[in-house]
């Protein structure tokens, strides 16, 4: 039997698992409440802070202006205008900076390169176990445990294809800006029209002018035009829509059944896309200039899904889901930019609060729309002893996204509006004032004030509508309701019937 010394038990006040944007927000918020002599342990499977940004492709950029991708109200240190789209290295450096800022207020032990194995409630504390490789288990005994592991996105692998005459790669394993793909002028086929696909296309088209670049786009993806919501310079005083307005408007239009209608409205009024048609939406931003570059550089867009590439005599053809096929040049490159995430492979989401408030789960699909906001607001609720009394609403997002990704997204936005309203009513005003994640901070204070006044006036009146929409969505797909809408007489939440 292992002794306590063998296990390496660490005593802590708080243990956070996950050093991505959600976990770094949780750590930073915790540091605002704890004394300098108190102790937080941060665990992550990667060797450095950064979450999904550690493993993603090197030419990725933040798709929003960088100041609002942060922890708490930590400001960036780079000397760039606010509209600058931060690079991978800049994002990783900033998340590291956020952890270092937390260190100024509280003791932090980082167990990076450690795989989280489990957490057990002891009745008065939580025992968290992790391990570095094949080494001995490390045990953390903490008063509070914050599980901030999000989607745990794995890097894309090259597609397994039957043809021996194509070169199959993925952005994470093949830097499209140089190396072997730059050594010839063979055609390139990008598979996938989401954000990764757009990044790959833009990179290829700008690095190799005149080269044949093609896209297998599936049903096509549309994005929100960055120009419409983030005007630059003095135009911020009189141009553009507030990002929070759009998110709220999408939720207000959703009734649990009409996501296609909601997205059609968004696409018509604020959408932009590089393909002839676009049905898919996952709240991504892109500029009109980027879209124009991609459209201008694309040789061909195939609105279908790739099943395989097969040799046909001396030729190669792409086999498509519709039954059609496309002849391509032997020696072509095929770049896998399909979704990094398979919802079918994920378990049911745990409740966001457990063990009388000692354990919180930020959640993969998000109580507040984005995991960063979950890390920020749930940790504030935890340390203000309101995590078991504020009536937040939760639905098993994994089950919902397995049933329908498009309906799941609309439900997620609706859920976020309900929960933000509850947080607003129960948290001190300074929590919102100090939230550097707020997208509307792009605009001058007078324009933000208008949006804030509208939110204050309407958020309570909209609650019943939001709950009704979520109920209809769950009934529609047979999703078991794991939500809470009001505290019970004992102070604990009662389940939504």
Whether 154 shows a pLDDT value over 80: the answer reads no
* Burial class of residue 296 (count of CB atoms within 10 Å of its CB; 0-12, 13-18, 19+): exposed
* Burial class of residue 370 (count of CB atoms within 10 Å of its CB; 0-12, 13-18, 19+): buried
Calculated CA dihedral for residues 104, 109, 114, 117, nearest 10 degrees: -110
Per-residue pLDDT band at 350 (split at 50, 70, 90): confident
63-88 mean pLDDT: 96
Buried b (16+ CB within 10 A) or exposed e, 449-484: eebbeebeeebeebbebbbebbbebbeeeebebbbb
Beta bridge partner(s), residue 224: 271, 285
The residues, ordered by sequence, that sit 6+ positions from 441 with a Cβ below 8 Å of its Cβ are 67, 68, 448
From the list 423, 420, 412, 435, the residue with the least C-alpha distance to 363 is 412
User: In angstroms, rounded to a whole number, what is the distance separating the alpha carbons of residues 226 and 142?
Assistant: 43
Radius of gyration of the chain, Cα coordinates, nearest whole angstrom: 24
Please tell me the class of the 4-153+344-495 domain: alpha beta
CATH topology (fold) of 167-220+273-336: FAD/NAD(P)-binding domain (3.50.50)
Per-residue pLDDT band at 482 (split at 50, 70, 90): low
User: In angstroms, rounded to a whole number, what is the distance separating the alpha carbons of residues 77 and 94?
Assistant: 8
User: In angstroms, rounded to a whole number, what is the distance separating the alpha carbons of residues 56 and 79?
Assistant: 24
Domains 4-153+344-495 and 167-220+273-336 share a fold: yes
pLDDT value of residue 341: 61
User: In angstroms, rounded to a whole number, what is the distance separating the alpha carbons of residues 195 and 286?
Assistant: 9
pLDDT value of residue 324: 97
Per-residue pLDDT band at 355 (split at 50, 70, 90): confident
68-75 mean pLDDT: 97
From the list 34, 15, 29, the residue with the least C-alpha distance to 436 is 29
Edge-first strand listing for the sheet containing 280-286: 271-272, 221-225, 280-286
∠ CA 430-22-441, nearest 5°, is 45
User: In angstroms, rounded to a whole number, what is the distance separating the alpha carbons of residues 422 and 415?
Assistant: 11
∠ CA 400-401-406, nearest 5°, is 110
Per-residue pLDDT band at 490 (split at 50, 70, 90): very low
User: In angstroms, rounded to a whole number, what is the distance separating the alpha carbons of residues 458 and 130?
Assistant: 45
Give domain limits for the chain: 4-153+344-495, 167-220+273-336
Task: State pLDDT tens for residues 185-198.
Answer: 999 999 999 999 99
Measured CA distances, 321 to 157, 219, 340 (Å): 20, 11, 20
pLDDT value of residue 495: 38
The pTM assigned to this predicted structure is: 0.93
Whether 488 shows a pLDDT value over 50: the answer reads no
- Which tokens hold the place of 266? 């968004």
Q: What percentage of residues in the chain have a pLDDT greater than 90?
A: 85
Task: State pLDDT tens for residues 82-101.
Answer: 999 999 999 999 999 999 99
């Amino acid at each position: 039997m292992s002794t306590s010394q063998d296990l390496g038990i660490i005593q802590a006040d708080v243990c956070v698992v996950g050093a991505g944007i959600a976990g770094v927000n949780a750590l930073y918020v915790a540091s605002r409440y704890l004394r300098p002599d108190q102790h937080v342990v941060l665990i992550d499977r990667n060797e450095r802070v950064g979450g999904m940004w550690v493993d993603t492709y090197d030419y990725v950029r933040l798709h929003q202006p960088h100041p609002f991708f942060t922890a708490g109200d930590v400001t960036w240190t780079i000397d760039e205008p606010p509209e600058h789209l931060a690079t991978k290295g800049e994002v990783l450096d900033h998340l590291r900076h956020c952890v270092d800022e937390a260190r100024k207020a509280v003791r932090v032990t980082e167990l990076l390169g450690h795989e989280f194995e489990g957490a057990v409630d002891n009745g008065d504390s939580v025992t968290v176990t992790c391990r570095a490789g094949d080494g001995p288990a490390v045990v953390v005994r903490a008063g509070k445990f914050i599980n901030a592991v999000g989607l745990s996105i794995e890097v894309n692998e090259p597609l397994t294809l039957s043809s021996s005459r194509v070169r199959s790669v993925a952005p994470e394993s093949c830097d499209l800006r140089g190396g072997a793909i730059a050594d010839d002028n063979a055609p390139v086929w990008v598979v996938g029209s989401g954000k990764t696909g757009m990044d790959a296309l833009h990179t290829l088209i700008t690095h190799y002018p005149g080269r044949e670049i093609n896209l297998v786009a599936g049903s096509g993806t549309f994005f929100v035009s960055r120009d419409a919501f983030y005007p630059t310079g003095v135009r911020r005083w009189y141009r553009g829509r507030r990002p929070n307005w759009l998110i709220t408007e999408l939720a207000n239009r959703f009734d649990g059944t009409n996501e296609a209608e909601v997205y059609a409205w968004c696409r018509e009024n604020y959408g932009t896309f590089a393909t002839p048609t676009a049905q898919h939406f996952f709240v991504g931003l892109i500029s009109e200039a980027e879209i124009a570059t991609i459209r201008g550089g694309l040789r061909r867009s195939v609105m279908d899904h790739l099943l395989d590439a097969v040799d046909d005599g001396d030729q190669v053809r792409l086999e498509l889901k519709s039954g059609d096929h496309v002849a391509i040049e032997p020696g072509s490159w095929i770049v896998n930019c399909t979704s990094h995430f398979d919802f079918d492979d994920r378990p049911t989401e745990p409740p966001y609060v457990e063990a009388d408030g000692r354990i919180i789960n930020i959640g993969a699909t998000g109580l507040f729309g984005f995991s960063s906001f979950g890390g920020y607001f749930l940790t504030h609720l935890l340390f203000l002893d309101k995590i078991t009394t504020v009536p937040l609403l939760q639905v098993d997002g994994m089950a919902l996204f397995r049933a329908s990704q498009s309906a799941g997204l609309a439900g997620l936005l609706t859920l976020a509006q309900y929960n933000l309203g509850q947080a607003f009513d129960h948290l001190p005003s300074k929590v919102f004032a100090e939230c550097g994640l707020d997208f509307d901070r792009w605009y001058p204070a007078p324009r933000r004030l208008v949006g804030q006044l509208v939110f204050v006036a309407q958020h309570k009146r909209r609650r019943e509508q939001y709950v009704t929409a979520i109920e209809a969505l769950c009934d529609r797909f047979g999703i078991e309701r794991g939500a809470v809408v009001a505290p019970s007489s004992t102070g604990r939440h009662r389940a939504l019937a």
